[in-house]
Amino acid sequence: MSGDLLSGLWVLRECPHFAPRQWELLLSQARRCRLHARLAQHFQNRGWLDAVPSQPRRHLQSALASAQRQRQQVRWETDRLRVAMKDVPGPVVLLKGAAYVALDLPPARGRLFADVDILVARSSIQAAELSLMAAGWVQEALDPYDERYYRQWMHELPPLKHVWRHTWLDVHHTITPPTSRFAVDGSRLLQSARPLHAGSQLATLAPADMVLHSAVHLMQEGDFSAGLRDLLDLNDLLLHFSAQADFWPTLLDRAQELGIGSALFHVLREVQRLFGTRPPAALAARVNALASGWASKVLMPPLLALALKPPHPTCDSAGSALARWLLFVRSHGLRMPWHQIVPHLLRKAGSRAWARLQRPAASAGKV
């Protein structure tokens, strides 16, 4: 049995009736996308959970419990960040999942977390790192090359891990690398950030910026294993913020202002393809104008349609691996100029090959 059971499930109007093997396949595809808790939340929201056979229902209920526990952990981490960062100048902006939880936005429901992401002013990066280290977040050892890579080329510090809670934290000074074709000035995001409440140092991005961050992250990171989850997040955000009368014009204006219109164009088209959500008809011409060229309209749709399927053997077709590889290469070309990225990728490939050679030698020495 094969086929993508997951991607089309979100627009069904009635509870699907699957055979036991299909339930097993659906849950397996959802786990590969990090969507099994989100799937459980969807069934619960639709009132379908009781109609699910007992064995898959237990898996879904367990995923819901895990998501709720992680949501509480993220709230606790957010509070610890508030204390740790109290002396750091400027706002501390929660990004993506942590922001969704703080504002109780739809994408927070059924979400599973790998880390917490924050944004601070570039001028505050050193103060933020020192304050976080004092509070127990430390950087794991990196070789000198990787250390320099983060510090000079990237838009964030090396990942930090808490010594007691073992939680991960990413500290950004903007949302894209400075070398990126989508280079975004982080100070412009901070200027529009919204405090969680009056007088709070903790803040979130403005609604349009929140959507744009999710869009550019999906299109630039090069890893589409959680692409369907990211599109669901975007769909939720678009539906939620559409209640604001000026949201869509503001979103399009902001995309052009920040120079990331093509990323928004691609994700809007994919959200419409999979979930039917679209901008107001009066703005269709403005959305089409975001495309950066003929390749955006001709080549990208079939590549994204293949790459955004669940990364599961039953969903793959003949061109899936090639599509993901081409988009991976494209994403690196977006993040850094080729004269920097080619030596970087060659060095990383060499490091991985050397590590593989060392492992058998190390194992042979064990008694």
Task: Tell me the Ramachandran region of residue 3: left when phi exceeds 0, alpha when psi lies from -120 to 50, beta otherwise.
Answer: left
Measure the CA–CA gap between 54 and 202, rounded to whole angstroms: 42
Measure the CA–CA gap between 300 and 295, rounded to whole angstroms: 6
**Do residues 160 and 131 make contact, with C-beta atoms less than 8 angstroms apart?**
no
One digit per residue, pLDDT tens: the chain, 367 residues?
458 999 999 999 999 999 999 999 999 999 999 999 999 999 999 999 999 999 999 999 999 999 999 999 999 999 999 999 999 998 999 999 999 999 999 999 999 888 899 999 999 999 999 999 999 999 887 777 776 767 776 788 888 999 999 999 999 999 988 888 888 889 999 999 999 998 899 999 999 999 999 999 998 887 888 899 999 999 999 999 999 999 999 999 999 999 999 999 999 999 999 999 999 999 999 999 998 777 778 889 999 999 999 989 999 888 888 999 998 888 877 777 666 667 766 666 666 666 667 665 544 444 3
Measure the CA–CA gap between 118 and 168, rounded to whole angstroms: 11
Measure the CA–CA gap between 200 and 196, rounded to whole angstroms: 6
Q: Which long-range contacts (C-beta less than 8 Å, at least 24 apart) are formed by 54-62?
A: 55/20, 55/23, 56/23, 56/24, 56/26, 56/27, 59/27, 60/27, 60/36
